[in-house]
Amino acid sequence: MLSRRCPFPDVRQRCEAILGGVQELGIRIPRPVGHGPSRFIPEKEILQVGNEDAQMHTLFADSFAALGRLDNVTLVMVFHPQYLESFLKTQHYLLQMDGPLPLHYRHYIGIMAAARHQCSYLVNLHVNDFLHVGGDPKWLNGLENAPQKLRNLGELNKILAHRPWLLTKEHIEQLLKTEEHSWSLAELIHAVVLLTHYHSLASFTFGCGISPEIHCDGGHTFRPPSVSNYCICDIANGNHGADEMQISPTGSISTAESLCEVEVLMEKMKQLQECRDEEEASQEEMATRFEKEKRESMFVYFSEEEELAPTRDVSRHFEDTSYGYKDFSRHGMHVPTFRVQDYSWEDHGYSLVNRLYPDVGQLLDEKFHIAYNLTYHTMAMHKDVDTSMLRRAIWNYIHCMFGIRYDDYDYGEINQLLDRSFKVYIKTVVCTPEKTTKRMYDSFWRQFKQSEKVHVNLLLIEARMQAELLYALRAITRYMT
């Protein structure tokens, strides 16, 4: 790890020398499986450690100092340094700074949350961190070996991860009022923020095809590189040749078609803006369009023949393994719409978090704002573009899938701006991230830059995290009142 990923060149060189000496003694040196930090993004497009500018170097050095490593998530997020800085600051505060929960509890909650999506990448990292801060190795044999207090979080973990709209004040009451092993409000807020942070980070990990770290399971091999071995590794990693042209289920895609896709999207944005300026839909019409989009989002699903990248079994870290995502209006259940006007992050959630876990509300608020407002005024090869309409459509579509409605938004815009393959990708990454494939990643926005696709993932994870938080904080508020 240090020979490849330390931001300090003298350390990299010294570690390379040590490895060279060890190799001369006949000891085999592991090498990474796959190519680069992501299975989806060609390695040549990702910033190489050692080639960063002064600003990036400071970020890398800070990340390395805080985590003791420069991980693959950081190397992909660095496409957007402003966001990465906010993300690292928030994560550092949640895991390492003063707070209601002891350090080993924080990492264990991270393991529980990541395991709900079978995200062995994050589980592996936090198993190491958990042991490093003095966590009991026995807890890692399965949730039944952890203290009852942590096991009681299992229900909250599963509902937040898969069906947050089912969360009630009774769930909160059970955690706070259990005679023994009860949680304080401050501890519960800390736990909720950690759970939502790691559920959404699992979405980023799968959405960007993050590869295992070299020192973790599945991240290294001792076999020398050879043509046949290269093929085996690559197929297992979902890399079917970095330069292979993306093929849709209906056949091949020409570059002209992809270029046309960008032009069409820009034209639609222009038309929608003109319509907005001319007339505004009535409140009844807006409500109807929301319900229609909510209904339609249930029929967005993927039918993938493609083999998923193999994941290691991490199900011992959570209970009720059969519980997963289900659309909220299936099986005759009708979930009442969550109106942002009645309970919003800005007016309600932010102040509750800040009151019970000082500074975290501020950090989360900054991170949400950066992701939502991030723009370089470009779209593929076009410059000076106002992308706010598109960013808002993505954010509101995710909240719509969670039953959350903005009264002042025309949901008719979503169908205009997000095509089917993009909706499939969004829904998979947000609701069942472990099912994301390279084909899905390749099939949306084919002419856009990799950095723009990573930006989409930042919008997805922050909108998802905020949606989960809104349901949890609303339930806590109801319990308190």
Q: Which of 353, 391, 354, 394 is nearest to 370 (CA)?
A: 391
Q: Can you give the pLDDT at residue 304?
A: 53
Q: Can you give the pLDDT at residue 245?
A: 34
Q: What are the φ/ψ torsions at residue 408 (nearest 5 degrees)? A: -95, 15
Cα distances (Å, whole numbers) of residue 353 to 169, 183, 283, 379, 480: 17, 16, 32, 36, 13
Q: Can you give the pLDDT at residue 312?
A: 56
Q: Can you give the pLDDT at residue 179?
A: 76
The four Cα atoms 378, 382, 384, 385 give a dihedral, to 10 degrees, of -70
Question: Residue for token digits 């923020």?
Answer: 193
Q: Can you give the pLDDT at residue 279?
A: 66
Cα distances (Å, whole numbers) of residue 323 to 154, 244, 352, 424: 12, 37, 30, 21
Q: Is 400 one of the annotated active-site residues of the chain? A: no
Token output for 422: 């993009």
The b-or-e profile of 317-326 (16+ CB within 10 A means b, else e) is bbbeeeeebe
Question: Residue for token digits 């959630």?
Answer: 349
The whole-angstrom separation of Cα 269 and Cα 162 is: 32
Question: Residue for token digits 């000891």?
Answer: 27
Full pLDDT tens readout for the chain, 481 residues: 899 889 999 999 999 999 999 989 989 888 887 778 999 999 999 998 999 999 899 999 988 988 888 999 999 999 999 999 999 999 999 999 999 999 999 999 999 999 999 999 999 999 999 999 999 999 999 999 999 999 999 999 999 999 999 999 999 999 998 778 899 999 999 999 999 999 999 999 999 999 998 887 778 777 765 443 333 333 233 333 333 333 333 344 455 565 688 888 988 988 888 777 666 777 777 777 777 776 676 666 655 544 455 455 676 666 666 677 776 655 555 677 899 999 999 999 999 999 999 899 999 999 999 999 999 999 988 999 999 999 999 999 999 999 999 998 989 899 899 988 899 999 999 999 999 999 999 999 988 999 999 999 999 999 999 999 999 999 999 999 8
The whole-angstrom separation of Cα 279 and Cα 336 is: 29
Q: Can you give the pLDDT at residue 389?
A: 94
Token output for 475: 């339930």
pLDDT digits (tens, 9 = 90+) for 101-131: 999 999 999 999 999 999 999 999 999 999 9
Q: Can you give the pLDDT at residue 257?
A: 61
Measure the CA angle with vertex 346, ends 108 and 297; round to 5°.
Answer: 75
Q: Can you give the pLDDT at residue 254?
A: 52
Report pTM. 0.87
List alpha helices for 208-348, DSSP H. 227-236, 255-278, 283-297
Pairing status of strand 247-248 against strand 251-252 = antiparallel
Cβ atoms of residues 261 and 452 within 8 Å: no
The whole-angstrom separation of Cα 66 and Cα 369 is: 23
The b-or-e profile of 183-194 (16+ CB within 10 A means b, else e) is bebebbbbbbbb
The whole-angstrom separation of Cα 441 and Cα 421 is: 9
Catalytic residue among 6, 119, 216, 431: 119
Cβ atoms of residues 172 and 189 within 8 Å: no
Cα distances (Å, whole numbers) of residue 162 to 23, 80, 156, 308: 47, 28, 10, 20
Instruction: Report the number of secondary-structure helices (H) and strands (E) in the chain.
Output: 21, 8
Cβ atoms of residues 202 and 71 within 8 Å: no
3 state SS for 166-216: HCCHHHHHHHHHCCCCCCCHHHHHHHHHHHHHHHHHHHHHHHCCECCCCCC
Cβ contacts of 151 within 8 Å, gap of 6 or more: 143, 144, 319
As a whole number of angstroms, the longest Cα–Cα distance in the chain is 77
Q: What helix, strand, coil percent values describe the chain, rounded to 5?
A: 60, 5, 35
pLDDT digits (tens, 9 = 90+) for 302-350: 555 444 554 556 766 666 666 777 766 555 556 778 999 999 999 999 9
Per DSSP, the three-state class of 115 is: helix
Strand partners, 252: 247
Domains of the chain by residue range:
1-67, 79-214+276-304+312-480
From the centroid of its chain, how far is CA 383?
28
